[in-house]
Amino acid sequence: MEDGRDLDTSESHLISSTRTPDLKLHLRSRDAGNGRPVLFVHGATFSSRLFDIPHAGVNWLAAAAAAGLSPYALDIRGYGRSKPAELSVDAPPYATGDEAICDIADAVDWITARHGGAAIALVGWSWGSITTARYITELRSDKVAALVLYAPIFAERNAEWLGMLADPADPARISTLRAFRRVDLAATRTRWDAQIPAGAGDWRQEAVLQALVAASLEDDPASDATDPPSFRVPNGAFVDLWESFNAREPYDPFRLTCPVMLVRGAQDPTSTRTDALALFDRLSATRRQYVEIANGTHFINAEAQAGRLFTSVHGFLRDV
% of the chain exceeding 70 in pLDDT: 98
Return the amino acid letter for 200.
A
Structural domains for the chain: 5-319 (3.40.50.1820)
Q: Terminal CA-to-CA distance of the chain, rounded, Å?
A: 37
Give yes or no for residue 166 having a pLDDT over 80.
yes
- Counting other chains too, the contacts that 223-232 makes at CB distance below 8 Å and 24 or more residues apart are 226/182, 226/184, 228/184, 228/185, 228/186, 229/184, 230/182, 230/183, 230/184, 231/182, 231/183, 231/184, 232/78, 232/83, 232/87, 232/180, 232/181, 232/182
Average pLDDT, the chain: 94
Report pLDDT for 5. Answer: 54
Alpha helices in the chain (DSSP H): 60-66, 97-114, 127-138, 159-165, 185-193, 206-219, 236-245, 273-282, 306-319
CA-CA distance, 148 to 318, in Å (whole number)?
12
pLDDT tens string 36-95: 999 999 999 999 999 999 999 999 999 999 999 999 999 999 999 999 988 788 899 999
pTM of the predicted model as reported, rounded to 2 decimal places? 0.96
3-state secondary structure of 224: helix
Res. 259: pLDDT tops 90? yes
pLDDT tens figures, 284-300? 999 999 999 999 999 99
In degrees, rounded to 5, the angle at the alpha carbon of residue 34 between the alpha carbons of residues 31 and 35 is 80
